[in-house]
Amino acid sequence: MPSAYITPTGQKILTEELKWLWKHKRPYATGKVKEAAALGDRSENADYHYNKRLLREIDRRIAYLSKRLDVLQVINRAPKDQDRVYFGAWIDIELGGTVNTYRIVGPDEIDFAPHYISIDAPLARAMLGKHRDDRTRFGRVAAIRYDAAGDDASLDFEALIKRFQHFPMQL
């Protein structure tokens, strides 16, 4: 079972996706099904079958987002002990002279940025609770930072919202 944590930005994005599916994509797909059904024989109507499948996919995503948003716990504050790695932390990991930066986020928001890793990922699990300069099998914790209010200022919220709004109205 994936962890039920999310950042405030992640919650906003998932909520906006849910609204967009309900207000735009689902009505579009419903209209296409209605048009295809009006053409007559549904058994040989590829448009009808295709758009019914699209509607099922949309309904499945709406159901998932609705249930998931109900159980997610928004972590909107930095921990008291900011010298340790917790949810929402930016961590620099040094291994072999190379430093990589990651942010530990919930499993529902790892697609928002390439440097995001799920709190359930082995790398994040190994880093949780570590201090600066602690060593793990993945490398040394070189730095730990937290954003104010748990938000990621480097994310372009509007661009992320447009990402799913500009998907074609097809599968």
Mean pLDDT per 10-residue section of the chain, whose length is 171 residues: 87 91 92 88 83 93 96 90 92 92 92 90 94 91 80 66 59 41
Q: Provide the whole-model pTM.
A: 0.82
Neighbours of 11 (CB within 10 A): 20
Classified by CATH at the fold level, domain 90-160 comes out as Chitinase A; domain 3 (3.10.50)
CATH number of 5-74: 1.10.357.10, 3.30.750.24, 1.10.287.180, 3.20.20.480? 1.10.287.180
Domain boundaries, the chain: 5-74, 90-160
Three-class SS of residue 100? strand
Q: Look at residue 171 in the predicted model and tell me its pLDDT.
A: 41
- Asked whether the beta carbons of 90 and 145 are under 8 A apart, the reply is yes
Token representation of residue 73: 């716990």
Distance CA 136, CA 127 (A): 7
d(CA 121, CA 131): 19
101 within 8 A of 91, measured Cβ to Cβ: yes
Same topology for domains 5-74 and 90-160, yes or no? no
- Give the pLDDT confidence score for residue 149 in this predicted structure: 58
pLDDT confidence of residue 119: 95
Q: Report the run of H or E that residue 135 belongs to, with start and end.
A: strand 135-136
CA–CA distances in Å: residue 40 to residues 12, 44, 73 = 42, 9, 48
- The pairs formed by 109-114 with CB atoms below 8 angstroms and a separation of 24 or more are 109/6, 109/7, 109/9, 109/10, 109/13, 109/14, 112/9, 112/10, 112/13, 112/155, 112/160, 113/152, 113/154, 113/155
